[in-house]
Structure 1
């Protein structure tokens, strides 16, 4: 036993002796996505590895063993998308789906045509693994074979149809809500019907319209790759999910799909800027923090919505920190502090902050839970609606629909969450559950990246589901044979009964029609 113990300890110590080289590709120009990828990149560098980091936000201060590849042309693409968020949110989910995937195709194409990326592909570099964000950018997965390395996916907002298909993770629509729908895991009959129909629509749209366009980009920019596009997708070695079961709904995962939600959260509170610290400490009744994230600017809200926010905040006894992207806010109340940037993580960690008004993005809800703060959510797009459905079901938040946002609806939601201690208690309880992990999410992520690297892709984790067609996976051929056989047997029985009935009727008819013998005189 002692020999076994020392062998395990030695293996664990040697795991960091070997230095690996990684390529990380983040195609989005969204700061929230970047923060997740940056946390993993820095974690790998701290573990002694080298990371080539392709993103739209190069490091302001150089970090040893982290080489930035700047994706400067991604930012304008995202800016166009951001400017249309409010307009797109008015459309139905059926109409928004093609628009969302069109954004993905545009980002995929833009990244592959970046001069810095074209140069990278021409260089004779080698990597031990390629870590690629999974966000409607399947053609980018071709980097892995190009550099003869295992493919690791990084899902910055949890499991979705984009990620589950990569490793064969089952997603029963009976209790796994589509990530774009505002549903929980306990659905009514009509909600299950909606979830099933939209999941089928999304599957058909991706298979016949979206993925073929990604395939064209893959063939164009990786002409020497031997794997076809669809085999390449299902050859993914590992998917890291920016989620945790304590924050979401329980659901099945393939063994090579691992939850690492919370990598970006600061474990130690940093000192706040003096003006913000003074504003928070001087709030007798506490502080409310309001931010709509990095993609949507509250300064771009329609005038009616902005006035509703101003009117609501003016009537509160609490002070408000409002992430507002314009230095000029006409009618700003005295109890409101505006800035185009706040250290959100550190603000939520402050004991005098009582409530977080958010758009419901996964990073924001994760930070709110980690720090035990209840939320009022104003979801606009993407997974925000589902995240707020989770918050309401879990009891630590309330949703205010943007189209119903008014002084009355927002004030009522704020008063309810602040004055009902059950919301804060539930946020604290979820914080305890989320923190109750035997390792930090970042440590888990680094371990699994290293594990897949050491095991040369860890093929043994690959589910057999990846080798089955849609028909085989759902046993539709077997069911067709069974029901076809049953149908044939029933038809045969019916045919025999009908034939027997006809025969009996014929015999009876012959007996009745038999001529009587004539009597002789």
Structure 2
């Protein structure tokens, strides 16, 4: 076993050496912290592998590695939010209607505003006016298609990544099939096993997304692309079809097996590194928790401090009755009525914390980063989904037996306490989480090694056009063989019509033979 690992390690080192020193531009201008965590993980992994990495981001790193330079778009998020409605995500939860509204909002004017601000930012303007060259542009495919022109500007291969998995946006880039019979839209709370009506809604919702995306959203992005990159060698449509690779922060053990083309690669858990020592106060708090720790975090966008007071107090009362300690990521240092067994912190090194053996349960909103980290470390969950892919993630977790769902509207002292104690006291939840953890870790290469291998592959093979599916050259009608089915239908109609015509002819001929003129038979 060790001999095989050594051989694999030597092979991996030799592969890295073949493409060492490439210049890579990673673009993260959308201002979402959780998305930035994934994007910077890609950049740091490639820098560690010996590449020269430049990252355009709205958030500066505290300790950037070697070969890693940041171009920080200072003030980008603040300017983008000026005059915008301040979201309280707890007020945006709901079913199909909310999913519909969130989709329309996501395709709204905010992506255009972020693009304008980023392209006008003096730090990015300075880079674009420089003589710098890049071999690869790595960019998140999340309502950011107009930024694909940066690959044209720097004459570089374009690689994209998705922070949460595959979607219409990523599938269109590489011709990935997406049958709605068993692949649910990411914003619906469905899994890969749907009832008839769920399949009906999933298909209708997916087609609405496709129509809105192709006929309303993309033409607007093309306009910005043409204005910002007038000298691009390839048109917007050509660049959309000229993506070398798509990375997905997803893994089939956490979602379901999917039909990917060879240039769509799963690297779920790219942000997870070997556990590092915790800050001293957190390390002590966890080490001394003889009964274990319940960790509570609602992510980077949803703020626990925005919880309605009645819901917040329900959590505090339920926590106060536990024998376990509770660590709550809470963004306000003032939390009234806090029990003695509850510790709050505005920021927590989440993956490192979940790796601690004394953490017994994770209460989460169900975001992709958190659920992946929790399962990587084998921790069961209580899920409180609010919007986006959170409903789907939690529904899958419930069906797999390592999580229990607590709907936001049902939160009270009793339901919180019951949910926590159910997961803590039923060993099947922890057992199933450990089972998934073992499956997730059982990979020929780690997500980080996989990223380095495939980026180097693209560099070695000049963008690797051999990976691209011929589906990219087909229209929607051709890809789905709708033109073929239409001709088949016409042939069928013609054959039926011809047969009806012949039958009528024969019938009339026989009828006239048996019935002479006047329509009366002769008497004997």
TM-score, structure 2 normalization: 0.93
Distance 2:419 2:456 in 1: 45
| Superposed displacement of residue 115, structure 1 | 2.2
| Superposed displacement of residue 220, structure 1 | 1.1
Equivalent of 2:104 in 98, 105, 110? 98
**Are the structure 2 counterparts of residues 133 and 213 from structure 1 closer, same or farther at C-alpha, using a change threshold of 3 Å?**
same
3-state SS, counterpart of residue 429 of structure 2: helix
Listed one character per residue, the Cα deviations across residues 292-344 of structure 1 (whole Å, up to 9, x for unaligned) are 11111100111221122112212222111001111111111111101101121
Partner of 1:169: 176
Distance 1:81 1:375 in 2: 32
Distance 1:12 1:367 in 2: 27
Distance 2:206 2:393 in 1: 18
**Residues 10-19 or 286-295, more deviating:** 10-19
Listed one character per residue, the Cα deviations across residues 195-216 of structure 1 (whole Å, up to 9, x for unaligned) are 1111011101111111111111
Partner of 1:69: 71
**Are the structure 2 counterparts of residues 100 and 506 from structure 1 closer, same or farther at C-alpha, using a change threshold of 3 Å?**
same
Distance 1:516 1:99 in 2: 81
Distance 1:513 1:348 in 2: 93
* Mapping of residues 277-292 of structure 1, within 5 Å: 277-292=283-298
Partner of 1:19: 21
| Superposed displacement of residue 412, structure 1 | 1.9
Does the 8 Å contact 1:28/1:78 carry over to 2? no
Distance 1:127 1:185 in 2: 40
| Superposed displacement of residue 184, structure 1 | 0.7
Equivalent of 1:152 in 154, 159, 163? 159
| Superposed displacement of residue 393, structure 1 | 1.5
Distance 1:331 1:515 in 2: 104
3-state SS, counterpart of residue 89 of structure 1: coil
Distance 1:78 1:317 in 2: 42
Equivalent of 2:254 in 247, 258, 262? 247
**Are the structure 2 counterparts of residues 516 and 410 from structure 1 closer, same or farther at C-alpha, using a change threshold of 3 Å?**
closer
Does the 8 Å contact 1:182/1:389 carry over to 2? yes
**Residues 84-93 or 48-57, more deviating:** 84-93
Listed one character per residue, the Cα deviations across residues 14-33 of structure 1 (whole Å, up to 9, x for unaligned) are 64154100111012222221
Answer with 1 or 2: which has the greater Rg.
1
1:266 aligns with 2:273: yes
1:469 aligns with 2:471: no
Does the 8 Å contact 1:50/1:66 carry over to 2? yes
Listed one character per residue, the Cα deviations across residues 4-23 of structure 1 (whole Å, up to 9, x for unaligned) are xx9x9899626415410011
Partner of 1:337: 343
| Superposed displacement of residue 45, structure 1 | 1.3
Distance 1:132 1:425 in 2: 37
**Are the structure 2 counterparts of residues 451 and 516 from structure 1 closer, same or farther at C-alpha, using a change threshold of 3 Å?**
closer
TM-score, structure 1 normalization: 0.93
Partner of 1:3: none
**Are the structure 2 counterparts of residues 10 and 449 from structure 1 closer, same or farther at C-alpha, using a change threshold of 3 Å?**
closer
Dislocated runs of 4+, deviation >4 Å: 8-12, 78-82, 511-517
1:460 aligns with 2:461: no
Does the 8 Å contact 2:99/2:388 carry over to 1? no
Does the 8 Å contact 2:515/2:521 carry over to 1? no
CA RMSD after TM alignment: 2.2
Equivalent of 2:409 in 399, 403, 411? 403
3-state SS, counterpart of residue 92 of structure 1: helix
| Superposed displacement of residue 82, structure 1 | 6.6
Listed one character per residue, the Cα deviations across residues 245-283 of structure 1 (whole Å, up to 9, x for unaligned) are 11211111010000111121122x222223222222332
Does the 8 Å contact 1:82/1:296 carry over to 2? no
**Residues 274-283 or 435-444, more deviating:** 274-283
| Superposed displacement of residue 221, structure 1 | 0.6
Partner of 2:62: 60
Does the 8 Å contact 1:105/1:136 carry over to 2? no
Gaps of 5+ in 2: 1-6
| Superposed displacement of residue 513, structure 1 | 5.5
Equivalent of 2:367 in 346, 361, 376? 361
| Superposed displacement of residue 426, structure 1 | 0.5
Equivalent of 1:419 in 411, 425, 433? 425
* Mapping of residues 209-248 of structure 1, within 5 Å: 209-248=216-255
3-state SS, counterpart of residue 195 of structure 1: helix
User: Aligned residue pairs: how many?
Assistant: 510
